[in-house]
Structure 1
Amino acid sequence: MTLTYPLLLDGGLSNELERQGCDLNQKLWSAKLLESNPEAIILAHLAYLEAGAGCIITSSYQATLPGFMAIGYDEDSAKELILKSVQLAEEARSRFLSLNPHASKPLIAASIGPYGAYLADGSEYRGDYLISDQELWDFHQPRINLLNDSTADLLACETIPGFHEAKVLAEILKNVKKPAWVSFSCKDGQHISDGTPIEQCAAYFAHHPTVFAIGVNCTSPEFISPLIQSIKTKSGNKRIVVYPNSGAVYHVESKTWSGLSDLPSCELMVKEWMDLGADIIGGCCGIGPEQIKAMGQSLPK
């Protein structure tokens, strides 16, 4: 597999599903649709591919073995649903390529959300769950192993809020064969959600054998530029991945707000992030196909 940079990611899966009329107000979030409405997931992926995304992220963020088993699935059925997230992304890619036969083949990144996503209590933005290394290992390893053996191109450990969890993931990822990125949720321009400096996190993964990119996701766009700068100082030769949420920035001079929902601001921000060293750029919650298309227009051809 050859990665070409800059690489454009997709946007928020949940907001595109909600735009279709899907109700995600339940503990499994978009993962619930893996069984109840798989076509909606395919169409959401397809919308981002048609907007120009060169990589789509699977609907497995909140798809976990304990999450499915807690609502009555047996272990084998839970595993099948997690793998189905990759199959649906492949179906979307197949449909896209059949309609665009001269397009480059998009990549599929298998989403691995944090323990806090399984809790569904917002703790993926705090990192304050008090559990042991072994409990985190037992939670993450089965899903990572499953997705590592899937046909996905990459592993995406995303929205990681705490250094404790990141260190456990680092150990598990030493044993995978797929390239992986690790991206953190951050509370400001210098710290991840649990207060650890982002520089410390970047330094920890700088020489990791399978993690090829370090970065930030589901974080306000106003913090992305300083976070890129901080990551760059400690990340060695690793690529930098950023895919913020829509956020909003207040401009004192004009007394107006802008964020990644504002298309001109979207293009300007992407250019700035690339100039600072970002290699992989996309969007998270609140960022839709229109914004991804605008981002793509800012990337060099």
Structure 2
Amino acid sequence: MLPDLRDALRRQVLVGDGAMGTFLYQMGFPVGISYEELNLLKPDVIESVHRRYFDAGARLIETNTFSANREKLSKYGLEHEVEAINRAGVALARKAVGYDAYVVGAIGSIRAGRRKNIRTAKVKEDLRQQIEVLLDTPVDGLLLESFYDLEEMLIALKLIRKTSSLPVICQFATEGAGTTQDGTALPEAFRMLVDSGADVVGFNCRSGPNGLLRSLEKVAGMEGAPAFSIFPNAGIPDYVDGRYTYAATPQYFGETARKFADLGAKIVGGCCGTTPEHIAAIAKSLERYIPNPQAISPVSTGVLESVTAPAVPDLKASVQPSVVDLAKERHTVIVELDPPRDLDIAKFLEGAQALKDAGVDALTMADNSLAVTRMSNLALGSLVKEKVGIRPLIHIACRDRNSIGTQSHMMGLHALDIDHVLAVTGDPARFGDLPGSSSVYDMTSFEMIRMIKQLNDGVAFSGKPLKKKANFIVGAAFNPNVKYLDKAVQRLERKIEAGADYIMTQPVYNTELIEKIHEATKHLNVPIFLGIMPLASGNNAEYLHNEVPGIQLSDEVRQRMSGLKGEEGRAMGVAIAKELLDAAMRYFNGIYLMTPFLAYEMTVQLTNYVWEKTGRQDSHLYPLSK
């Protein structure tokens, strides 16, 4: 009979097991299935994998339950099988190794670092369900692995500690960053976990041995260093001939195992890409291991220098007040001018110059609105800033870029000193001009707002320090053309909680609705730019009302536009827009004008109308520094 897991960790370094999912993939089980369901469908296979790791020398075996929570299983229609899959996972591990190895119940993150829009209450409930099942089985402890955020890790740990004193191992997924993905320095995060009841803290996944060795070096000498666990990937995966492969050899894993142990690792195993051969190399390397006390260098403050280093002043920061500051003082006009669908930018630049001359405060450019391919708004934003001298405000859609592309895009905007952005969800790709293309939606608009504001703290999406801080002013979209305005405002409040600095609405065509919007939002502490788009014709009015999501026209407006086209239609559209502006300017300083079909003459007229009505004489008071 083995001693208690805590006692064992005080006396020796335990060898952990290796990957389950990638090993099953190597055995021929395809990507796209639930590997946890194999506990029920292929129990002999799962049991054999556990036994192979035990035979290789592993004495701490993880159950095949990493994604056996309701949220993850629901993707396969298995949300009602949480209990069955978790119980089977424990039973198979115990059957494979008996009581000659420690069996720990594996619990993965619900959010998985994607900042998905999953309410904290749901995260708690899904974690609670899995934890309760695993605690009702003969496990020797629980392993919280591949967590990205300290917040979620603490939720899980505290749920365990409410009812159980079993040993708990807490592991973050990292690629060498000095912080968790939600911005906490790793030494501080580890202290908080230990204070909340963690027995072992450490790292797994995302990086190979070299990356996790660097991460461990940053925390190994922290005052009162806890016991650490390390489960690296077998290097970076490569895609060769239709298969994923990993390059790190078992020999390499054996060579690094002792380095981990010298830095205080009490458990050393493997994550993605590792096999029984990798674990055998670790076991051989740690056989008769004696710690090297000279190997640990102290980390006196517990806070990484790269995170706390003084910020370098951003000499490129614009002297022009932000639209947020302007809207707090006076009426402020933002005008949208859509990038062209072809390669000719002459009319676009002509319109930008005309709007600059009219005194608009910012020129905003959509990000392939309605999923129709247009010229890059980043490129055009840079052009209008440098050539025209007007502030660009760039929309960023969740649809077109994954997290990597989004951060890269934001870093490029920072380099170009374009600091005003609007985070939007984006219309689905299948409804645009390239219906065969994919919608990414790697993050929601809520998450995008949070992540952009994280760049302002000098922290990358991954949690790595960026050496400098960005200075983005982040806007959020608001659609008031809904049946239940109060619910739309509640969603808006969440965007403001996420960090939105200002709000831009969908176009409104009803003066009564403008007053209702004011009443419903007057408690908010950020400027709201009320959207008004002049109609170009009767057909344009019917198209917007019947086919474009988020836009509704009143019966009166539709009747007034009915049958009109050409100059007559545009004149009526401007007249209606002026009436809407009269109502909007009574309640809102922020005005957001949208230019239809690059007909910038219409929004020039409306901009001039705003200045005439407000008596503003300082439309050029804040020229953009060039």
**Pair 1:106 & 2:94 matched:** no
> Could you state the TM-score of these two structures normalised by the residue count of structure 2?
0.41
Please say if residues 270 and 298 of structure 1, whose CA atoms lie closer than 8 Å, have aligned partners that are also in contact.
yes
- Mean alpha-carbon deviation: is it higher for 196-205 or for 227-236? 227-236
Please say if residues 69 and 79 of structure 2, whose CA atoms lie closer than 8 Å, have aligned partners that are also in contact.
no
Q: Deviations over 1:187-219 (max 9, x none)?
A: 32423344432222112113233x210000013
Q: Counterparts of 2:79 and 2:287 in 1: how far apart (Å)?
A: 47
Q: Deviations over 1:247-297 (max 9, x none)?
A: 15xxxxxxxxxx872233222211111111111100000011111100111
- Mean alpha-carbon deviation: is it higher for 78-87 or for 235-244? 235-244
Q: Give 2:93's aligned residue.
A: 89
Q: 1:198 to 1:85 in 2, by over 3 A?
A: same
Q: Please point out which of 284, 287, 298 is paired with 2:271.
A: 284
Q: Show the 5 A alignment for 1:111-122.
A: 111-116=106-111
Q: Please point out which of 5, 16, 19 is paired with 2:23.
A: 16
Q: 1:225 to 1:34 in 2, by over 3 A?
A: same
Q: Give 1:161's aligned residue.
A: 148
Q: Give 2:188's aligned residue.
A: 200
Structure 1 SS opposite 2:66:
coil
Please say if residues 254 and 284 of structure 2, whose CA atoms lie closer than 8 Å, have aligned partners that are also in contact.
yes
Query: What root-mean-square deviation, in Å, do the aligned CA atoms of Structure 1 and Structure 2 show?
Result: 2.3
Structure 1 residue 61, shift from structure 2 partner: 0.5
Q: 1:182 to 1:287 in 2, by over 3 A?
A: same
Q: Show the 5 A alignment for 1:262-273.
A: 262-273=249-260
Q: 1:82 to 1:69 in 2, by over 3 A?
A: same
Structure 1 SS opposite 2:233:
coil
Q: Give 1:61's aligned residue.
A: 66
Q: 1:208 to 1:235 in 2, by over 3 A?
A: farther
Q: Counterparts of 2:116 and 2:223 in 1: how far apart (Å)?
A: 27
What residue identity is the alignment partner of 2:27? Q
Q: Please point out which of 37, 40, 43 is paired with 1:35.
A: 40
Please say if residues 147 and 172 of structure 2, whose CA atoms lie closer than 8 Å, have aligned partners that are also in contact.
yes
Q: 1:78 to 1:195 in 2, by over 3 A?
A: same
Q: Counterparts of 1:115 and 1:182 in 2: how far apart (Å)?
A: 15
What residue identity is the alignment partner of 2:195? H
Q: Counterparts of 2:263 and 2:89 in 1: how far apart (Å)?
A: 33
Q: Give 1:253's aligned residue.
A: none
Q: Which has the higher contact order (CA 8 A, sep 6+)?
A: 1
Q: Please point out which of 23, 48, 54 is paired with 2:53.
A: 48
Q: Show the 5 A alignment for 1:130-145.
A: 130-145=117-132
Q: Show the 5 A alignment for 1:235-250.
A: 236=224, 238-248=226-236
Structure 2 SS opposite 1:206:
helix
Q: 1:174 to 1:240 in 2, by over 3 A?
A: same
Q: Give 1:299's aligned residue.
A: 286
**Pair 1:80 & 2:84 matched:** yes
Q: 1:71 to 1:20 in 2, by over 3 A?
A: closer
Q: Give 2:305's aligned residue.
A: none
Structure 1 residue 181, shift from structure 2 partner: 0.6
Please say if residues 173 and 205 of structure 2, whose CA atoms lie closer than 8 Å, have aligned partners that are also in contact.
yes
Q: Deviations over 1:88-133 (max 9, x none)?
A: 1111114xxxxxxxxx8111011001003xxxxxxx2x34224443
Q: Show the 5 A alignment for 1:182-193.
A: 182-193=170-181
Q: Counterparts of 1:141 and 1:233 in 2: how far apart (Å)?
A: 34
Structure 1 residue 223, shift from structure 2 partner: 1.9
Percent identity of equivalent pairs: 23
Please say if residues 94 and 103 of structure 2, whose CA atoms lie closer than 8 Å, have aligned partners that are also in contact.
yes
Structure 1 residue 70, shift from structure 2 partner: 6.0
Total equivalences in the alignment: 271
> Could you state the TM-score of these two structures normalised by the residue count of structure 1?
0.82
What residue identity is the alignment partner of 1:208? S
Q: Counterparts of 2:79 and 2:218 in 1: how far apart (Å)?
A: 44
Q: Deviations over 1:216-263 (max 9, x none)?
A: 001312222232233334473531001011115xxxxxxxxxx87223
Unaligned runs of 5+ in 2: 237-245, 289-626
When Rg is computed on C-alpha atoms for both structures, the one with the higher figure is 2
Please say if residues 71 and 79 of structure 2, whose CA atoms lie closer than 8 Å, have aligned partners that are also in contact.
no
- Mean alpha-carbon deviation: is it higher for 60-69 or for 11-20? 60-69
Q: Counterparts of 2:273 and 2:24 in 1: how far apart (Å)?
A: 11
Q: Counterparts of 1:158 and 1:86 in 2: how far apart (Å)?
A: 16
Please say if residues 202 and 228 of structure 2, whose CA atoms lie closer than 8 Å, have aligned partners that are also in contact.
yes
